[in-house]
Amino acid sequence: MRILLMGNPNVGKSALFSRLTGTHIIAANYPGTTVEFTRGYLRWGEEHAEVIDVPGIYTLEPTTRAEEVAVEMLKAGDLVINVVDATNLERNLNLTLQLLERRVPVIVALNIWDDARHRGIDIDVARLEKLLEVPVVPTVGVTGEGVKELVRRLPEAAMHQESYATSDERWVRVGDIVSQVQSLSHRHHTWYEVLEDISNHPLGGVLIAVVVLLATFFAIRFIGESLINYVTAPLFEWLWTPLLMKLSLALGSGGFWHSILIGNLVDGRIDYFQSFGLLSTGLYIPLAAVLPYIIAFYLALGILEDVGYLPRLAVLLDTFMHRLGLHGYAIIPTILGLGCNVPAVMATRILESRRQRFIAATLISIGVPCAAMQAMIIGLVGQQGGEYVAMVYGSLFLSWVVVGLILNRTIKGFSPELLIEVPPYRLPPWRVIGEKLWLRVSGFIREALPIVLGAVLVVNVLYTLGAFDFVAGVTAPVVSGLLGLPREAVIALAVGFLRKDVAVGMLAPLALTPGQLVVSCTVLAMFFPCVATFVVLARELGWRDMLKASGIMVVAALVVGGLLNLLL
C-alpha cells in the first residue's frame, strides 16, 4: 500500500506528513520547501502503509521539472491524499479535478482550515464532498486537528473518473463548485495584513528587510555567543578538563596515544583550540564552539521560514539576482547555505533552468560559508578583532557577486524569470519551531560529530607518520608564494575537504598574523566544498558540471587569496 500526499506548493503537505507518520521532516512557509520525496509509514489495519510526501505541483500537465517528477510518482501510488489549501479553494480544486481524472482513489484533506475561518472564508464541507464524490476532511497540519478523522476515513477514498475535454472546461467546473460551497464574509484587516501591506510597498519592503536582516544577525550573534560563554565553554572547562588532565597523567603526559586522544599540551595545559586531540579539540569544536551557533542560526532560520518572510526577500532582491544570472528565489538556497551547503545545493531544485541551478550551486559553494565554519571563523579570527571577521565576510560577499557577474556573462543557457506565490504571514506555534530546530540540531550532531572526530583522527595519524611534510613541501610555492601563508597551512586546506570547521581550527596553532588569518579563512571557504557538499554537487549537477564548478572554485580562491595577500 502506497499513499501519496499531493497538492499545490505550500499547502502544508509536509506538516501533515509529519502528523500522519510521526516522521519529522522540515516544513516551512514558502513554496518548494520539499524538493525530495520523503517516505514514512502509517498503520493501515494490520499492515504498514508507505506514505510519500510529494513535492508540490500546481497541475498534472507538468510545466517544470519538479512537476514532471511528481506526475511520474502518481503512477506508483495506490491512494492519493490530496491536500487542499482551504484559503485558496479555486486554484487547488483545479488539481483535485485533475487527480480525479486518474485511475487512483482520492481523499481530500481540506488543510489550513483554521486560517480559512480567520479570513472569513466559509466552506460547506458536506456539499463539497457531495460534489466531488470523494471524502473531504478539514485539517490543520501544524496542530494535528482533523488528522485522526482523515486516517479513519482513508478507506473511503474513492475513484471516480470524470474527464474534461479542455482545461477551460475544467476551470468552469471548478468555478461552479466554488460558487456552490464557498461563502466569504467581511472581516477586519489583521495586523499581519498591515505588515504585508508595508512589506509590499517598495520602500517599506526595503526598510523591513534591513531591520529583519540586522535583527537576525544580532540575534544569532547574541544567542551563539551567550551559549558559548555561559554554557558550553564553562561546561568543558569545569567538567571535562579535569577528567582529561587525569587521563593525560595516566598516559604519561606524552606518547602516541596521548597525542591521538589529548593532543599537545600548551604550557602543560589543554588548549581546546590548539591541542588537537580526539577527546580535546575533537569534541570541543563540534559541541562547544559550533553547536551554539548551529542552534542560534537554525532558530532564526526556522522563524523566518515559518513566518513566510523569505519569499518577500526574494521579490525584493530579484532585480539584483538577475545580474548574477539568477532570479530572486535563488536567495532561499543561498540563505540555507549559511547553515549548511548540502541542503542548500539540493534546494537549488526550486530554480527552473539548468543554468540557474549551476550558477546558484557554484556561488553557494564559493561565497557562502556554512554555520559550522562561520562559528570557527568568528571564534578564531574574532580574537584578533571584529574588523578582520568583517574582511573575511566582505571578501566572500564580493567574490560571490563578482563570480556571479562573470558566470552570467559566460554560461550559456536560459534563466527564466521569477514567478512565485508569496505566502501570507503566519505566526508559527513555538512547538513547531522547536521541533524543527531539534530536527536540524540533532541532525548536525548525528552527521557532523563522527566526521569531525574522523577528521581529527586522520590528521593526527598522518602527522605522526610525517605524511604532511611531503605535501607541504610540494605545495609550498602556491601556499607560501602566492598566498603568503606558512607551508603547514596547506594541511588545513586539505582537511577542509573533510570538515571546514576542523580546518579553521587547525589554523589556531600556526600563530598566523591577522592578515594571514583573513587570507587563509577566505581561501578555505572558497577553495573547495567539503566532501558532503561535493557528493551532493555531483548528484545534482552531474560529474562534468561538478568538476567545472570545482575548477571555478579553485581559480576564484587562488585569485582572491593572492589579492588579499597583496593587500594585507
Partner 1 sequence: MAMRQGERVTLVQMGRGQSGIVVEVLGGKGLVRRLGALGIRPGKRVTKISSAFFRGPVTLRVDSAQLAIGFGMAGRIVVEVDKELPPSRGR
Instruction: Compare residues 115 and 469 and give the one whose CB is closer to partner 1.
Output: 115
Task: For the CB of residue 167, give the shortest distance to partner 1 in the complex, in Å.
Answer: 7
Tell me, residue by residue from 139 to 178, as one string, x for binding to partner 1 by CB under 8 A and - for no binding.
----------------------------x---x-------
Q: Please, which of residues 483-502 interact with partner 1 by CB under 8 A?
A: none
Binding mask 322-361 for partner 1 (x = CB under 8 A): -----xx---------------------------------
CA–CA dist 277, 284 (Å, integer):
10
119 in contact with partner 1 (CB under 8 A): yes
Contact 273, 290 (CB under 8 A): no
Question: CA–CA separation, 348 vs 307, rounded Å?
Answer: 21
- Is there a contact between 448 and 376 (Cβ–Cβ < 8 Å)? no
Q: How many chain residues bind partner 1 (CB under 8 A)?
A: 38
Binding mask 387-426 vs partner 1 (x if CB under 8 A, - otherwise)? -----------------------------xxxxxxxxx--
In whole angstroms, the minimum distance from the beta carbon of 72 to partner 1 comes to 18
Cell reading at 343: 541542503
We find the least distance from the C-beta atom of residue 63 to partner 1, in angstroms, to be 4
Q: Which residues contact 124 (CB under 8 A, 6 or more apart)?
A: 180, 181, 182, 183
Minimum Å gap between C-beta 352 and partner 1 is 10
Question: In the bound complex, what is the minimum distance in angstroms from residue 187's beta carbon to partner 1?
Answer: 12
Q: Which of 472, 466, 465, 510 is nearest to 494 (CA)?
A: 472
The distance of Cα 264 from the centroid of its chain, to the nearest Å, equals 37
Q: Is 5 left (phi over 0), alpha (psi -120 to 50) or beta?
A: beta
Cβ within 8 Å of residue 536, ≥6 positions away: 341, 342, 345, 346
The three three-digit cell numbers of residue 328, written as one number: 530572486
By beta-carbon proximity to partner 1, the closer residue of 58 and 293 is 58
Separation between Cα atoms, residue 109 and residue 196, nearest integer Å: 27
Cα R_g (the chain), whole angstroms: 26
Cell numbers found for residue 529: 566544498
Task: Please identify which residue in 36, 39, 48, 61 interacts with partner 1, judged by CB under 8 A.
Answer: 61
Contact 370, 337 (CB under 8 A): yes
Structural contact between residues 459 and 276, judged by C-beta atoms closer than 8 angstroms: yes
Residues 80-109 that bind partner 1 (CB under 8 A): 87-88, 90-91, 94
Q: Should residue 255 be labelled a site residue for partner 1 when binding is judged by CB under 8 A?
A: no
The phi, psi pair for 56, rounded to 5°, reads -65, 145
Q: Are 467 and 321 in contact (CB under 8 A)?
A: no
Site string for partner 1, 21-60 (x = CB under 8 A): -------------------------------------xx-
The interface with partner 1 within residues 180-219 (CB under 8 A) comprises: 193, 196-197, 200-202, 205
Nearest-approach distance from CB 416 to partner 1, in angstroms: 8
Scanning 127-135, 311-319, 332-340, 357-365 for contacts with partner 1 by CB under 8 A, the matching segment is 311-319
Residues near partner 1 (CB under 8 A): 58-59, 61, 63-64, 87-88, 90-91, 94, 119, 121, 167, 171, 193, 196-197, 200-202, 205, 311, 314-316, 318-319, 327-328, 416-424
